[in-house]
Amino acid sequence: MLSREQIIETAIELLDAGGEGALTTRSLTERLSTGSGAIYYRVGSRDELLDAATETVVTAALAAKPARATTTATPEDEIRTVALALFDAIAEHRWLATRLILQLVRKPFGPVTVGIFERIGRQVGALGVPRASWFDAASTLVHYILGAVSQHARIDGDTSTVEPDRAEFLDATAAAWQDLDPEDHPFMHAIVGQINEHDDREQFLTGIAVVLDGLTRLG
């Protein structure tokens, strides 16, 4: 018997393969060998299915635990763990970043937004941030995390079908920066040699460290 979980799992597979455009009633019913009525009955509309797929992936990411034992994990450990889990989830599911932003903006009361804020927010208090600043502090962290990882999103309207090779893309970017007038763009010339050396995850963690350092100064 077709289950809700099977429908969501198949929807995620289609989204991973081709983005939101690949998730149609026809593609889903063909993959599951069922009718549209069965899908609507168990999950609902396409938007509800996208929400369910997003919630499934995010819930799994939020279940991540720090490498060190829970009893010795610091608030910083917990925040880095959930931040990296979301980073990796979006790297694996390129459609997810856009859906996360939509959830944050349109459904701040929904399970996805609430789940992220709850996991991050508990650690904000543990960092010693004054209670009156909890909302601002948690929002700053969540907005940084989602903003930083959104660069991995599939952009609506982008008709390209081939993902650029990372090394080639960075080489081309470095070459373009190098061609800029050094008098008008001294900073870009100063960092051009660093673009090929950077690691996306390490860069992301550096940003987390900067935000956390600022939050601890609120106490």
Instruction: Name the pLDDT band for 15 (thresholds 50, 70, 90).
Output: very high
Instruction: Name the pLDDT band for 160 (thresholds 50, 70, 90).
Output: very low
Neighbour count for residue 114 (Cβ, 10 Å): 14
What is the mean predicted confidence (pLDDT) over 45-74? Answer: 90
The pLDDT of residue 159 is above 80: no
The pLDDT of residue 171 is above 70: yes
The domains of the chain are located at: 1-44, 51-161+202-219
What are 133-156's pLDDT values in tens digits? 999 999 999 999 888 877 655 554
What is the mean predicted confidence (pLDDT) over 29-49? Answer: 91
> Per CATH, is 51-161+202-219 categorized as 1.10.357.10?
yes
In degrees and rounded to multiples of 5, residue 192 shows phi and psi of: -60, -30
Angle at 142 between CA 140 and CA 143, to 5 degrees: 65
pLDDT at 59: 96
The pLDDT of residue 41 is above 50: yes
Same CATH topology for 1-44 and 51-161+202-219: the answer is no
What are 66-83's pLDDT values in tens digits? 987 666 889 999 999 999
Classify burial at 42, counting beta carbons within 10 Å of its beta carbon; exposed 0-12, middle 13-18, buried 19 or more.
Answer: middle
User: In this structure, what token pair is assigned to residue 9?
Assistant: 């799992």
- Domain 1-44, CATH homologous superfamily name and number: Homeodomain-like (1.10.10.60)
pLDDT at 61: 95
pLDDT at 36: 87
